[in-house]
Amino acid sequence: MELTSQKMRKLAPELDPLRLGTGWTPDELSKPQIIVESTFGDSHPGSGHLDKLVNAACKGAAEAGGHGARYFATDICDGESQGTDGINFSLASREMIANMIEIHANATPFDGGVYISSCDKGMPANLMGLARVNIPSVVVTGGTMHAGPELLTLEQLGMYSAKYERGEIDEAKLNWAKQNACPSCGACSFIGTASTMQIMAEALGLALPGSALLPATSPDLVEYARRAGYQAVVLAKQGLRPSDIVTMDSFENAIMVHAAISGSTNALLHLPAIAHEFGISIDGDTFDRLHRGAKYLLDIRPAGRWPAEFFYYAGGVPAIMEEIRDVLHLDAMTITGKTLGENLDELKANGFYEHCQQLLDEANARCGIKLTRADIIRPASDPIGTDGSIAILKGNLAPEGAVIKHTACPKEMFQAVLRARPFDSEEECLDAVLHHKVEKGDAVFIRYEGPQGSGMPEMFYTSEAISSDKELGRSIALITDGRFSGASTGPVIGHCSPEAQTGGPIALVEEGDLISIDTGAIVDGWVGDNAWTYPVGTVAPEVQRLLEVGERCMWEGLDNARPTKRLGDIGHAVQSLAEAAGYSVVRDYVGHGIGREMHEDPNVPNFGRRRTGLKLLPGMVLAIEPMVNMGTRKVKQCSDGWLVRTRDGKPSVHFEKTVAITEDGPVVLTTEEGHPRPV
């Protein structure tokens, strides 16, 4: 097989002298030529050390009989631009880096490639560019920085900053945090977007097994870079391209790993973009489907307790994959030329986990702690959670979907009564949060921050300002058409689609509107359903009365979920109370049985006659959800197939709880912690 580089030499007589002028030797001209593409630069800690990995990759290529050529497309740092207009360039930079990789590799064709990056946009950009170029390639991930003193990591700085703005700490404490949060090179030491995408590179089979998210200062990382350069030459001689390796199974493996690590919500932007370059279609619904029932295992910040360097000490990506081995496509091909299953078996046989244990022992001694592998990566038999880490939410405010990282959200915020506060920019909202203009019980909307609105910046400072306040972090929600940092925690819902700039419904929210949030959960295989209607700011007295009556209707229905009662008793209780107040009850949509599935028999109408219908027995579980209208009970479904409106356009409210029928009466299963409502 004639190499692409050698064909190019015949076609372009100027190529040899130009490369000789660059420093190549005549002997190197005839060897397999490897482009070593990286985001090296002094832009931030995640890229400042990559030159060492570039040189190691070139060395490995030479050892395999090839020659490495260094190319650079430096990335920017989201952390350095947070809270400024600079963050608007962040997502766009991903496309620019991918474009430069495509230009570099296609302007002067190479036989193979090594792609080296660490951070939020550089990592997915290199994976996108790799797919476009589609020459035999290996990815090297730049690793993670060490934690600072007291295990300080950068995502905590937003908390320190918000506390300083509120007068809770002095400037000296804030400066201490600033000076110690980034003690070394590498990606930020938490499972943010950078760490997530490094892990995704290995999970896709495009990085050497066991190489992702090493401490950036480790000599092991340099060795992996050398081996990557060597392997790129091997793949070039074999003609094994990324398109021969990456399939839908590869992406499903990556998403299952994403669920297990509680990965960044930004992966929902990056993985579909990478898949698109491979001609594969995945979307938010793919994530939602695979996360349901998936085991969440990783106790690493921001959702967990420990800095990201401990991820590798516990066995890294291979250890995660071993725990979820039964749900992975083990026959998926990788850049080793072997399957995923073969790679995992080989690591186990070659002492990989013993080496990781040695590193963990050293870290424990250095930090004065006593962690075991199971403290960091929980066994599948004892997961932190059993429903992945993210969920796709849909409704009339986000008919095309929105995303929440439920593993980083306080459980009490799964169900809440909130007043909507809309803002048309993050700056406006952040100022309101920091100066106590946002209050407990508010639902904060930030809009016009989507891709077309302003480049889809991160709402990191605002989310940190909320989550760092003990009262606000457990009592308000943030909803936006922008996105969040992988470090964001709290009750935050992003990616609301369509965005406000394109006329999405989120643009229509006004003070005085009513907003209903309907949430479901799966716990140990059992489904729960819950809904509440929220006032947006201050509402008219007649609307407030509708809210109060609607909630009372729900509780009356729940009170009738007792043995010896019948379904008609529940419906009659709801209907009679609503109609006595001058309202109507929707009949086209009803409550339902609930168990292993969201909707089970029987239907539970919100209207009916006493002592009619199915007899209620202990052990039954029902979702009771009256929809009460100010005007007509008739409704219509809109053309999007999701939104339902009252026919006369008057306000409607919706309340729902899941209730178990017991010998002692009804027990509400979906009530918020510390706020039970006896029935």
Alpha carbon 45 to chain centroid, angstroms = 23
Q: Which residue has the tokens 């050390």?
A: 49
How far is 139 from 225, CA to CA, in rounded Å?
9
Task: State the Cα–Cα distance between residues 494 and 475, nearest whole angstrom.
Answer: 18
Q: Which of 475, 247, 243, 461 is nearest to 340 (CA)?
A: 247
Sign of torsion over alpha carbons 357, 360, 362, 365: negative
Q: Given the structure tokens 């909507």, which residue do they identify?
A: 420
Pairwise CA distance, residues 190 & 661, whole Å:
44
Cβ atoms of 356 and 316 closer than 8 Å: yes
> Residue 583: left if φ>0, alpha if ψ -120 to 50, beta else—which one?
beta
Tokens of 457: 């910046």
User: What is the C-alpha to C-alpha distance for residues 295 and 297, in angstroms, rounded to an integer?
Assistant: 6
Own/partner long-range contacts of 346-355 (Cβ < 8 Å, ≥24 apart): 346/209, 347/209, 347/210, 347/318, 348/322, 352/210, 352/315, 352/318, 353/315, 353/318, 353/319
Neighbours of 270 (CB within 10 A): 23
Is 90 labeled as catalytic in the residue annotation?
no
Q: CA separation (Å) from 528 to 287, 594, 622?
A: 20, 7, 9
Question: CA–CA separation, 659 vs 663, rounded Å?
Answer: 13
Neighbouring residues of 263: CB distance < 8 A, sequence distance ≥ 6? 191, 196, 199, 200, 257, 389, 486
Catalytic residue among 485, 488, 516, 584: 485
Cα Rg of the chain, angstroms: 28
User: Which residues lie closer than 8 Å to 161 by C-beta, 6 or more apart?
Assistant: 174, 461, 464
Q: Where are the alpha helices (DSSP H) in 395-539?
A: 426-434, 451-454, 460-467
Please enumerate in sequence order all residues whose Cβ is within 8 A of that of 383, keeping only pairs 6 or more positions apart, or say none: 295, 296, 297
In Å, how far from its chain's centre is CA 643? 26
Helix orientation angle between 352-367 and 340-349, rounded to the nearest 10 degrees: 60
Structure tokens at 255: 């998403």
Structure tokens at 665: 């009466």
Write the CA distances from 578 to 587, 600, 668, integer angstroms: 13, 26, 21
- Cα distance between residue 68 and residue 85, in whole Å: 38
Q: Name the helix (H) or strand (E) containing 140.
A: strand 137-141
Q: Annotated catalytic sites, by residue? A: 485
